[in-house]
């Protein structure tokens, strides 16, 4: 049902039968457009019942290609124990432990479909792990450029998945420069390279949009009053908004929309600053610093779309400090049983602030996105609280008396 790609700035159409990056006229992000009126006649939400609980249950609104899948998507939506009417969408349960699985599953699916050979990505961490895993599954070569201080899990995962990892002394924007240099070299096209940077190819948004379909389906096709989303590159925000428009065109929901809320780290908040200054684009945030590595994006490429969504949805943007975030990680773990990524825990900081000022009422249904598992940030979280993990008891260091073959038992 995919008919073409469309520039989100000028509306120019591009064919979807070959690899595309961004609009050649104005650098605008390209969105995949489907024949929704036709689909409306042939496919209803009721037909989703009984389908596999992965993001590919929505394949009617995804590009038609053989999926490269590790079972991503259809993550649980958990009712908060602390706040009635609040739900936690736990994306930490995806393959590779973060929401990045969705976008990269879709991007790698299309890369394999188009016969691309070598994928390059600048990543603040979790996108790199996800790309490395899906590329491994697809048998494609991956080159990853990540800041040298990414959480250890991301670096180790990429290494084990067999990716080529370059550690960069700088931020994700510096990593992006490295990929740009590579693009200018003569080997780029000759060797079948492709850049899967956030929003610089059209299909990561398509994978991420399935979060919007899931929120609607899991809440009985009734959208919540608010969605709080930790915003680095903002692909999920773009994707969910796109999903809502598609679902309305399909007749699955009405014209109601949740207020979309961007939460960013106080140490890197380009969207919040632009929102407060009522600008339509963000400015490069200097000296970005936060332990929430996924929020260390000094200028998201899709800023113009994120700010437009905040405005259209009557949402807002606000910050959480690293201290507030670490406290929230601990709080959520203790109160909700969810060991969240710092980026995800920022959502509860934002929710509390928005409740305090009356932006949300207690009976408003609000979905908070935990974008990843805290297990991917053990080194970061351990160091940040100024404590170390309890030392191993001496007997734990002894070799096991017998081989334990994956079973945890009383040996």
Q: Which residues bind Zn ion (CB under 5 A)?
A: 7, 9-10, 12, 23, 25-26, 28
Residue closer to Zn ion by CB (options 28, 224) is 28
In this structure, how many other beta carbons lie within 10 angstroms of the beta carbon of residue 109?
Answer: 23
Q: Are 274 and 315 in contact (CB under 8 A)?
A: no
Residue closer to Zn ion by CB (options 7, 367) is 7
- Least distance in angstroms from the C-beta of 228 to Zn ion: 30
Residue closer to Zn ion by CB (options 8, 282) is 8
CA angle (155, 158, 159) in 5-degree steps: 85
**What's phi and psi for 264, nearest 5 deg?**
-130, 165
Q: Reduced to 3 states, what is the DSSP secondary structure of residue 152?
A: helix
Tokens matching residue 277: 């200054």
Residue closer to Zn ion by CB (options 168, 306) is 306
Q: How far are the Cα atoms of 31, 114, 123, 159 from residue 151, in angstroms, in the given order? A: 31, 32, 12, 13
In this structure, how many other beta carbons lie within 10 angstroms of the beta carbon of residue 22?
Answer: 21
Residue closer to Zn ion by CB (options 12, 245) is 12
Strand pairing partners for 98? 372
- Least distance in angstroms from the C-beta of 29 to Zn ion: 9
- Least distance in angstroms from the C-beta of 50 to Zn ion: 40
Residue closer to Zn ion by CB (options 23, 247) is 23
Q: Which residues contact 409 (CB under 8 A, 6 or more apart)?
A: none
**Antiparallel, parallel or unpaired: β 30-34 and 2-7:** antiparallel
- Least distance in angstroms from the C-beta of 218 to Zn ion: 35
- Least distance in angstroms from the C-beta of 80 to Zn ion: 41
Q: Which residues contact 77 (CB under 8 A, 6 or more apart)?
A: 87, 88, 89, 90, 214, 215, 218, 219, 367
Crossing angle (nearest 10°) for helices 126-138 and 100-113: 40
Q: In residues, how long is the chain?
A: 411
Residue closer to Zn ion by CB (options 9, 352) is 9
- Least distance in angstroms from the C-beta of 305 to Zn ion: 13
- Least distance in angstroms from the C-beta of 209 to Zn ion: 20
Residue closer to Zn ion by CB (options 31, 369) is 31
Residue closer to Zn ion by CB (options 30, 86) is 30
Residue closer to Zn ion by CB (options 28, 258) is 28
In this structure, how many other beta carbons lie within 10 angstroms of the beta carbon of residue 356?
Answer: 9
Tell me, rounded to whole angstroms, the distance of Cα 123 from its chain centroid: 12
Dihedral (CA of 137, 141, 146, 150) sign? positive
Q: Which residues contact 392 (CB under 8 A, 6 or more apart)?
A: none
**What's phi and psi for 397, nearest 5 deg?**
-80, -15
- Least distance in angstroms from the C-beta of 30 to Zn ion: 8
- Least distance in angstroms from the C-beta of 233 to Zn ion: 19
Put the strands of the sheet holding 30-34 in their side by side order: 13-14, 2-7, 30-34
- Least distance in angstroms from the C-beta of 386 to Zn ion: 49
């Amino acid at each position: 049902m995919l008919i073409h790609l469309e520039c989100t700035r000028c509306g120019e159409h591009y064919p979807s039968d070959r690899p595309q990056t961004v609009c050649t006229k104005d650098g605008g992000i390209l969105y995949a457009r489907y024949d929704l009126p036709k689909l409306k006649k042939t496919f209803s939400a009721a037909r989703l019942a009984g389908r596999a609980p992965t993001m590919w249950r929505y394949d009617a609104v995804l590009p038609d290609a053989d999926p490269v899948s590790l079972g991503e998507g259809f993550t649980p939506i958990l009712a908060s124990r602390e706040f009635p009417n609040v739900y936690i969408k736990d994306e930490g349960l995806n393959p590779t432990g973060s929401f990045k699985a969705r976008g990269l599953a879709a991007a790698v699916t299309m890369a394999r479909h188009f016969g691309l050979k070598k994928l390059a990505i600048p990543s603040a961490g979790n996108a790199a792990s996800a790309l490395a895993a899906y590329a491994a599954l697809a048998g494609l070569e991956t080159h990853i450029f990540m800041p040298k201080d990414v959480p250890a899990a991301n670096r180790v995962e990429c290494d084990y998945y067999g990716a080529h990892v370059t550690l960069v002394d700088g931020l994700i924007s510096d990593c992006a420069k490295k990929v740009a240099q590579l693009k200018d070299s003569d080997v780029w096209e000759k060797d079948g390279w492709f850049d899967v940077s956030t929003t610089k190819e059209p299909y990561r948004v398509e994978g991420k949009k399935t979060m919007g379909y899931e929120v609607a389906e899991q809440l009985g096709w009734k959208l919540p009053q608010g969605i709080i989303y930790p915003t680095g590159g903002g692909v999920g925000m773009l994707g969910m908004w796109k999903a809502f428009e598609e679902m309305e065109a399909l007749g699955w929901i009405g014209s109601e929309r949740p207020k979309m809320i961007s939460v960013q780290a106080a140490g890197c908040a380009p969207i919040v600053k632009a929102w407060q200054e009522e600008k339509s684009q963000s400015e490069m945030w200097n000296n970005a610093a936060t332990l929430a590595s996924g929020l260390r994006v000094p200028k998201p490429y899709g800023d113009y779309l994120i700010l437009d969504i905040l405005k259209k949805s009557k949402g807002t943007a606000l910050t959480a400090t690293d201290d507030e975030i670490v406290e929230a990680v601990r709080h959520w773990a203790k109160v909700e049983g969810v060991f969240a990524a710092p980026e995800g825990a920022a959502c509860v900081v934002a929710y509390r602030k928005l409740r305090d000022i009356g932006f949300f009422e207690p009976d408003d249904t609000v979905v908070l996105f935990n974008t990843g598992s805290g297990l991917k940030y053990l080194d970061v979280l351990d160091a940040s609280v100024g404590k170390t993990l309890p030392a191993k008891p001496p007997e734990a260091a002894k070799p096991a008396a017998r081989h334990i073959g994956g079973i945890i038992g009383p040996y």
